[in-house]
Amino acid sequence: MRDEIRSLPTVPGMFVIMRRELRALLQDRRSVTMMVIFGFLLPVLVANGAIGSKGKPSIVLGILTEVLVFPYIAGLQAALTAFVGEREHGTLGPLLATPLSNVSIFAGKLLGAAYVPSLATSAVGFIAFMAFLHGKASDPLTVVAHATLIETIVLSLIAGFAMVVFGLLLGSKSKSVRGAQAITAVVVFPVIFGVQVLAQVVLNYSAWLAWGVMLLLIVAIAASLWFSAHIWNREEALVSTS
Amino acid sequence: MIRLENLVRTFGTARAVDGISLDVPDGSIVALLGPNGAGKTTTVRMAAGLIGITEGRAWIDDIDVVEQPAHARARAGLLMGEANLYDTMTLQGYLSFFGEAYGLTPATARKRAGELAAEVGLADRLTRKIESFSKGMRQRVGLARALVNDPPALFLDEPTSGLDVEAAIEFRDRIKEFRHERRSIVLCTHVLAEAEELADDVVVIQRGRIVAHGTPTQLKRSSQGDQYRIRLARSLKKYETVFKDLAVDDIVFNDGVIEFRTKDPAGTNPEIVRRLVAAGADVIAVDEVDRTLQEAYVDIVRSARDAG
């Protein structure tokens, strides 16, 4: 048995953690409920509201950004549970005793608990939204230029990623999940509001301005990820669980 | 083999661990004793490669913990206090996950999970969720997890805390078996009887330093000498004169029973008996008083505290 034991490289190690996080998420009724709400109920409900707009592009785009970004709120909550919650319950200790690297654990948890399920829910929500409006007066494919639609989708995707990373950066220092969730409220609302404003900028003014903001966001996300991965370390996690 | 060489760990300006050196040969158990905050857990965490070492070096199975912490962790098993498990996972899922985290393939990890569940007596619970397990069962799961990588070195930090008597006995029996499996074990505990029963060597730590180190028998021998008890048929009025000019300490006389401490029992005890008989006492018995490890520990810790 001892001959088969080895320290996994970063990426395979990350996948081990990611798989566990995904399984845990799918076993958690609250998370599944949130995914159903954000991936199906919300898109259908807001699409129904968008029909009332009689095809106004600005309203359709605004609602589309909500459908695309809202799942990341659940993703952020899941990420905080994966980091702060595990620290709170002391379950991080045994994981940190394995040969997995800090980056494997951090990235695996971030992807498994937050990004992959959020992205999947967002994609399902988008499909549900488009399917519900297909052929109707507010069908985004007919009322909004395709380029604008693509720009809005990319913008929402980046904004969702930014929400999770910034929220995690702010909330991860908290000692309890409740505390972390309270702190992250300051991230969620500005991001949702900001993405709606940017969608209107793309629609009515310059797409280049929106692309500029997106570029800035990407840089900020990369910097926040690097910073989060470095400030998140074994010692701090262990001290918090002792 | 676990080897610690002059380990130091500082947190800010505080030295939590201050120059601890220790060898734990294969197949032996070393108990770390000490009051709360003495530096036991920090020592274990450094030794197991979980936290950084400020100064000094550590090796697990000849792997340098400072230079190769991940490889060192791969050779160590750790059970820190409560098992802290993922409650929503099944036992099989949980142990397989940790097997994979140690680099096993999913198929091997799954097989290993079955073996370990049988080893800790939970084979019939393999597909059950951990949330339904009792405290004793949870601790056994924690032990199974610590054994996933078949580690040559085991660090057990208060492994029986919170267990009922029967479960604690079972757990200790299992720890004894590890000795025959040639594992090196560091055991942190506040249960002195546990250390006395299990440990080949006992190390007492206070304020980050080793203040006593030896076998339980060696530690039980006080620096002030062994304790003896003489039982008389009836009380003696002036027992003080019997001990005059003899190298004895801590004399206690109570209802025909005299207790004292001496470093030279071969020379002193026969003389005391002679004097007692000369004084008209009827000596019924002379016994050596067995000190428990707990009594020795309290003496050691108090002496170290008084010495500053």
Most confident listed range (A61-75, B135-149, B218-232)? B135-149
Q: Do A98 and B98 touch (CB under 8 A)?
A: yes
Q: What is the pLDDT of residues A73-90, one digit of tens each?
A: 888 888 888 888 888 888
Q: Do A5 and B70 touch (CB under 8 A)?
A: no
Spacing of C-alpha B252 from chain mean position: 31
Q: What is the mean pLDDT of residues B235-261?
A: 85
Which residue segments constitute the domains of chain B, with CATH numbers given? Answer: 2-220 (3.40.50.300), 226-290 (3.30.70.100)
Q: What is the pLDDT of residue A242?
A: 43
Q: What is the mean pLDDT of residues B175-181?
A: 90
**Taking 80 as the threshold, does the pLDDT of residue A134 lie above it?**
yes
- Among A1, A8, A238, whose Cβ lies nearest the Cβ of B112? A1
Tell me the C-alpha distance between B202 and B194, whole Å. 11
CB atoms within 10 A of CB A118: 28
Tell me the C-alpha distance between A53 and A93, whole Å. 53
Q: Using alpha carbons only, give the angle B181, B184, B189 rounded to the nearest 5 degrees.
A: 115
Q: What is the pTM of this model?
A: 0.84
Q: Any idea which of A51-60, A118-127, B210-219 has the lowest mean pLDDT? A: A51-60
Q: Do B70 and A97 touch (CB under 8 A)?
A: no
Tell me the C-alpha distance between A15 and B277, whole Å. 82
Q: Would strands B283-289 and B226-232 be described as parallel, antiparallel, or unpaired?
A: antiparallel
Q: What is the pLDDT of residues A88-99, one digit of tens each?
A: 888 888 998 999
Tell me, yes or no, if A30 comes closer than 8 A to chain B by beta carbon. no
**Taking 50 as the threshold, does the pLDDT of residue B297 lie above it?**
yes
Is there a contact between A199 and A149 (Cβ–Cβ < 8 Å)?
no
Spacing of C-alpha B151 from chain mean position: 19
Give, to the nearest 10 degrees, the angle between helix A71-80 and helix A29-36.
Answer: 160
Question: What 3-state DSSP class applies to B256?
Answer: coil
Tell me the C-alpha distance between A43 and A131, whole Å. 10
Which residues from B are below 8 Å from A16, CB to CB?
A: 97, 100-101
Which residues from B are below 8 Å from A8, CB to CB?
A: 101, 103
When pLDDT is cut at 50, 70 and 90, the band that residue A231 belongs to is low
Tell me, yes or no, if A16 comes closer than 8 A to chain B by beta carbon. yes
**Taking 90 as the threshold, does the pLDDT of residue B302 lie above it?**
no
* Residue scoring higher pLDDT (B137 or A77): B137
CB crowding B234-252: b at 16 or more within 10 Å, else e = eebeebeebbeebebeeee
Q: What is the pLDDT of residue A52?
A: 67
Tell me what the pLDDT averaged over chain A comes to: 83
Which residues from A are below 8 Å from B110, CB to CB?
A: none
Tell me the C-alpha distance between B69 and B92, whole Å. 28
**Could you tell me the maximum CA-CA distance found in chain B, to the nearest angstrom?**
81
Tell me the C-alpha distance between B95 and B122, whole Å. 12
Q: What is the pLDDT of residue A53?
A: 66
- Among B70, B84, B108, whose Cβ lies nearest the Cβ of A99? B70
Q: What is the pLDDT of residues B29-46, one digit of tens each?
A: 999 999 999 999 999 999
Q: What is the pLDDT of residue A126?
A: 92
- Give which of A17, A112, A229, A79 is closest to A8, Cα–Cα: A17
Q: Using alpha carbons only, give the angle A16, A17, A18 rounded to the nearest 5 degrees.
A: 95
- Across the beta sheet with B76-80, the strand order is B76-80, B153-157, B184-188, B29-33, B201-206, B209-214
**Taking 90 as the threshold, does the pLDDT of residue A168 lie above it?**
no
Is there a contact between B189 and A45 (Cβ–Cβ < 8 Å)?
no
Nearest CA in chain A to B48: A97
When pLDDT is cut at 50, 70 and 90, the band that residue B270 belongs to is very high
Tell me what the pLDDT averaged over chain B comes to: 91
Q: What is the pLDDT of residue A241?
A: 45
Query: Is the CA virtual torsion B226, B299, B30, B140 positive or negative?
Result: positive
Which of A10, A19, A20 to mutate against chain B (most B CBs within 10 Å)?
Answer: A20
Is there a contact between B201 and B213 (Cβ–Cβ < 8 Å)?
yes
Tell the residue number behind the tokens 């100064």, with chain if given.
Answer: B55
Q: What is the mean pLDDT of residues B125-146?
A: 93
Tell the residue number behind the tokens 């505080």, with chain if given.
Answer: B14
If interface means Cβ-Cβ distance under 8 Å, which residues of chain B face chain A?
Answer: 41, 45, 48, 50-52, 70-71, 73-76, 78, 80, 82-86, 88-89, 93, 97-98, 100-105, 108, 112, 142, 145, 149-150, 152
When pLDDT is cut at 50, 70 and 90, the band that residue B111 belongs to is very high
The tally of CA atoms less than 13 A away on the side-chain side of residue B254 is 6
Tell me the shortest Cα–Cα distance from B160 to chain A, in angstroms: 17
- Among A16, A89, A91, whose Cβ lies nearest the Cβ of B100? A16
Question: What 3-state DSSP class applies to B260?
Answer: strand
Tell me the C-alpha distance between A68 and A130, whole Å. 12
Q: Which two tokens stand for residue B229?
A: 């008890």
What is the four-CA torsion angle of B305, B186, B193, B228, rounded to 10 degrees?
-60
For chain B, the straight-line distance linking the first and the last C-alpha, in angstroms and rounded, comes to 33
Q: Which two tokens stand for residue A179?
A: 């505390």
Tell me the C-alpha distance between B184 and A124, whole Å. 53
Q: Do A238 and B103 touch (CB under 8 A)?
A: no
Which residues from B are below 8 Å from A1, CB to CB?
A: 112, 149-150
